[in-house]
Amino acid sequence: MKISREFIERIPKTDLHLHLDGSLRLSTLVELAREQGVELPAWDEAGLRRLVFKNAYADLPEYLQGFAYTTAVMQTPEALARVGYELAVDNQREGVRYIEVRFAPQLHQNARMTSIDVMAALDRGLARAKDEFNARPEVKRGNEPPFEYGIIACAMRMFGKGFSNYFDSLLDVHAHSERKWVFGLASQELVRAAVEARNRLGLPIVGFDLAGAEAGYPAGDHAAAYALAHKHFLKKTVHAGEAYGPESIFQAITDLHADRLGHAVYLFDPHMIKSPDIKDKKAYIDNLVQFIADRRITIEVCLTSNLQTIPAIRDLARHSFRHMRKAKLSATFCTDNRTVSQTTVSNEIQKAVQAFHITPKELKNFVIYGFKRSFFPGSYIKKREYVHQIIEYYEKIEKQFQ
């Protein structure tokens, strides 16, 4: 069977690495900016794509610059709910049946909203989209699987003045403290808020993440926060191996108990190992890959994003996914940022199929990994039932295209 674009769009899919503030519609960004008096470098979509949301970036820091504009317009409950609703609808339209929306509530926290208020506002938008989709006759009759979602609270590896009102206040209070200690303190506060939002309000807060500038800001600074998340049964993912090497990945899965890894692009690159204590770099990588494989730690692969932010990857055929595939690692395709990277889940899958000549059997495994390794908000039994429903629907689509 040939894997066509139509087939890719029809099959049920997941997006487990999906940043809210990198995935809002540009038309919504412009509209909200006008309403709220936020200055943009351009007031039309073409201008924004030319100046901010480009096809290629010099490096990760340039890629992250656009987030200053998107977070600026999401400082009210109404804006957060709207962006969440539209993001869910955009995913539904291309056959995505499960998403995990990650974002940093502390970037939206202000005098009017606590972190819990911020998470609740996003949930209202996502829940509305879910209820509308699942009210469709096809879903109610059981002919199609329902749409589900979870929310991942994301901490920042580092922050400075101007990041948000919350971070400005925290830095003022701890002006004489070591910065890395303040970074870790903010992460611990976010864990407490996420746990309370889940336990007291019943919000589907399914996991905890760490994002932002990786080089120079080790994940170990946030070990206490991850220990707290671990204690409260929050599942854990970490951006690692995107701008640093295998040592960063090792720290994520040991000190931070990561269940999944965001990107892990440099997992197989011995030149990115910096520690002089690691003499045999190849053996270190081999052992690390084996450790990840044994524990089925899933890698959230974001091909387009990596191609844009890592100059060394000049074409997808050189992406480290080829090594992940050969090592039989658990991996699933994600967008990272639908707007910033100008992509969709269907685009990511199609690029992978073309660049790596993925077979139909392999594609099915990668897609189902997304559902199996998701941080599903329901019980394990309900998750199993949902995964079985997804597999049945996938196989139904397969038969139609064979």
Given a cut of 90, whether residue 63 has pLDDT beyond it is: no
Given a cut of 90, whether residue 239 has pLDDT beyond it is: yes
Of 189, 242, 247, 348, the active-site residue reads: 242
- pLDDT score, position 315: 87
Alpha-carbon span 66 to 208, nearest angstrom: 23
Contact 231, 224 (CB under 8 A): no
- pLDDT score, position 189: 98
Dump pLDDT digits (tens) for 194-211.
999 999 999 999 999 999
* Ramachandran quadrant class, 21 (left: phi over 0; alpha: psi -120 to 50; beta: rest): alpha
Token pair 């629907």 is found at 393
Confidence tier at 363 by pLDDT (50, 70, 90): very high
Q: Quick one: average pLDDT of 265-278?
A: 94
- pLDDT score, position 334: 98
Dump pLDDT digits (tens) for 91-112.
999 999 999 999 999 999 999 9
- pLDDT score, position 58: 76
- pLDDT score, position 190: 98
- pLDDT score, position 43: 95
**74: nearest Cα among 341, 339, 344, 374:** 339
- pLDDT score, position 59: 73
Confidence tier at 10 by pLDDT (50, 70, 90): very high
Given a cut of 80, whether residue 60 has pLDDT beyond it is: no
Given a cut of 90, whether residue 312 has pLDDT beyond it is: no
78 phi and psi, to 5 degrees?
Answer: -65, -40
Question: What is the chain's percent helix, strand, coil content, to nearest 5?
Answer: 55, 15, 35
pTM here? Answer: 0.96
Is 242 noted as a catalytic residue in this protein?
yes
- Residue-averaged pLDDT of the chain: 95
Domain annotation for the chain: domains and CATH numbers: 5-401 (3.20.20.140)
